[in-house]
């Protein structure tokens, strides 16, 4: 176990925050049923209020599950000002109001209330605080509360995503808010970076870096930035995946021949091989109960999705039919999986149920790869392409709502949705 630090570390690690990194978000489609909500901008600090309002409305719109009710110039901040009849006439099911202020310490404090207009009842009344400069985080938390109260599912707007930004020969590993804003550069270098993978508690990223001249697996703390080499054997070391309890990882090594799957503890100990196919076995992903691995293998002649017990045992092929399949990930509910499907020169994001074995395409096809679920299983983040660039995209798990996120420059690749904070 080698720890890279000091000067080398300083050169490689650039912790930077770039505001307004996302230029453009396109939303396509709408949910089957959209909940009409009235989001009144908060009273108090105008600048904070505006940021929070943008974030809340943006989050809710991107989910495809909400429709914004025209406020018609109405402005209110207190429960005593709420006229349910007024909002019923405007067609709102729910109403959000509040105030925001900068405290002398610099902390942001927002007081937020959500009302059920139909039932004429307060659903949430809560104070949200955050450090200076974290107005967007306040917005995400409020959006999460609205989403949770009105849909019954846990919100994911406060979670983060990781992806690789490629500009020519320059590669940057980025962590950002779920809407692509608030970019943090975890690693920047002139060698490729691949396959970022979140630890279950969101504290670490494992990834593949070519900085030693070939693919090696690193694990990096997002708090201290300290990084360790997890696997640097001859050949290629790649495809890190964490078990749900964070106690072990699956990685892919070629040190004994073709790409095969191994288990290892996050500290690098107890390395053991678990596939013995002689074919390419890669992209392992743990089931939510930690008992199974999905993986990609070409043992049958083309790349397909397989499943095996983590502790070894029979390996079962799950995808058949035309084309090939890659990058499987379990649904958070454990009932099925998503993957990239290639057929007739296109890549699609697809979903399959374990029980029925039926594949369902969630996208129209194009250059769509590397899907990963939001923690609540309602949205899928993936790599796509538009206007000649690699971009981030999401699709709702029912395939109805899609969005494209264009980062500032270069190609966005290898996205992966992180756990809830």
Which residues are bridge partners to 99 per DSSP? 43, 111
CB of 411 to other proteins, least distance (A): 10
Name which of 192 and 288 has its Cβ closer to other proteins. Answer: 192
Name which of 84 and 367 has its Cβ closer to other proteins. Answer: 367
Name which of 103 and 190 has its Cβ closer to other proteins. Answer: 190
CA dist 384 and 404 (Å) reads 8
- Strands 272-273, 281-286: pairing is unpaired
CB of 342 to other proteins, least distance (A): 7
CB of 302 to other proteins, least distance (A): 7
- CA dist 92 to 33, 85, 286, 379, Å? 14, 10, 42, 25
Name which of 9 and 257 has its Cβ closer to other proteins. Answer: 257
Angle between helices 135-151 and 46-63 (to 10 degrees): 40
Name which of 97 and 274 has its Cβ closer to other proteins. Answer: 274
Helices (H) and strands (E) in the chain, counts: 4, 33
CB of 252 to other proteins, least distance (A): 7
| Contact of 27 with 397, CB cutoff 8 Å | no
* CA atoms 197, 386, 18, 42: torsion sign: negative
Instruction: Tell me 155's DSSP state.
Output: P
CA dist 50 and 54 (Å) reads 6
Name which of 134 and 258 has its Cβ closer to other proteins. Answer: 258
3-state SS string for 356-382: CCCEEECCCCEECEEEEECCCCCEEEE
Q: How wide is the angle at C-alpha 383 spanned by C-alphas 395 and 407, nearest 5°?
A: 100
- CA dist 368 to 27, 214, 296, 304, Å? 16, 26, 17, 17
CA dist 45 and 177 (Å) reads 23
CA dist 157 and 57 (Å) reads 11
CB of 210 to other proteins, least distance (A): 7
CB of 225 to other proteins, least distance (A): 24
- With tokens 């699609």, the residue in question is 348
Name which of 45 and 411 has its Cβ closer to other proteins. Answer: 411
CB of 402 to other proteins, least distance (A): 21
Name which of 92 and 206 has its Cβ closer to other proteins. Answer: 206
Name which of 259 and 376 has its Cβ closer to other proteins. Answer: 259
Phi first, then psi: give them for residue 205, nearest 5 degrees.
-120, 130
CB of 194 to other proteins, least distance (A): 5
CB of 114 to other proteins, least distance (A): 42
Name which of 75 and 276 has its Cβ closer to other proteins. Answer: 276
CA dist 259 and 2 (Å) reads 23
CB of 314 to other proteins, least distance (A): 19
Instruction: Report helix, strand or coil for 250.
Output: strand
Residue 343: which of 370, 371, 365, 372 has the closest Cα?
Answer: 365
Residue ranges that bind other proteins, judged by CB under 8 A: 192, 194-195, 208, 210, 213-215, 234-236, 238-239, 252, 254, 257-259, 280, 282-283, 296, 298, 302-303, 324, 326-327, 340, 342, 367, 369-370, 413-414
| Contact of 417 with 159, CB cutoff 8 Å | yes
């Amino acid at each position: 176990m080698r720890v890279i630090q000091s000067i080398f570390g300083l050169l490689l690690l650039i912790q930077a925050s770039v505001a307004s990194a996302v230029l453009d978000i396109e939303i396509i489609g709408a949910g089957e049923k959209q909940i009409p909500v009235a989001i009144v901008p908060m009273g108090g600090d105008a600048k904070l209020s505006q940021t929070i309002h943008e974030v809340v409305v943006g989050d809710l719109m991107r989910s495809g599950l909400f429709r914004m009710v025209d406020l018609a110039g109405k402005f209110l901040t207190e429960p005593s000002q709420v006229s349910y009849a007024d909002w019923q006439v405007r067609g709102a099911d729910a109403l959000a109001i509040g105030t925001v202020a900068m405290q002398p310490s610099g902390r942001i404090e927002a007081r937020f209330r959500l009302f059920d207009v139909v039932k004429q009842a307060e659903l949430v009344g809560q104070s949200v605080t955050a450090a200076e400069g974290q107005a967007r985080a306040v917005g995400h938390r409020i959006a999460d509360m609205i989403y949770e109260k009105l849909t019954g599912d846990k919100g994911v707007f406060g979670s983060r995503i990781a992806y690789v930004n490629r500009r020519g020969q320059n590669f940057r590993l980025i962590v950002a808010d779920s809407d692509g804003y608030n970019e943090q550069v975890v690693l920047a270098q002139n060698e490729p970076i691949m396959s970022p993978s979140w630890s279950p508690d969101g504290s670490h990223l494992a990834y593949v870096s070519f900085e030693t001249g070939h693919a090696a697996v690193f694990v990096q703390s997002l708090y201290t930035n300290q990084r360790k080499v997890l696997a640097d054997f001859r050949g290629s070391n790649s495809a890190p995946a964490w078990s749900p309890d964070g106690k072990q990882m699956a990685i892919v090594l070629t040190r004994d021949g073709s790409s095969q799957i191994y288990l290892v503890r996050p500290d690098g100990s107890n390395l053991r091989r678990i596939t013995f196919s002689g074919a390419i076995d890669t992209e392992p992903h743990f089931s939510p109960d930690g008992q199974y691995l999905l993986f990609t293998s070409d043992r049958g002649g083309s790349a397909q999705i397989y499943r095996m017990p983590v502790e070894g045992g029979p390996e079962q092929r799950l995808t058949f039919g035309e084309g090939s399949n890659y990058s499987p990930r379990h649904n958070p509910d454990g009932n099925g999986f998503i993957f990239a499907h290639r057929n007739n020169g296109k890549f699609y994001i697809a979903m399959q149920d374990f029980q029925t074995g039926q594949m369902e395409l969630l996208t129209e096809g194009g250059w769509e790869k590397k899907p990963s679920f939001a923690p609540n299983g309602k949205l899928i983040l993936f790599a796509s392409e538009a206007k000649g660039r690699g971009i981030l995209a999401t699709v709702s798990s029912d395939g109805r709502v899609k969005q494209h996120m264009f980062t500032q420059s270069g190609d966005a690749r290898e996205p992966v949705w992180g756990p809830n904070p």
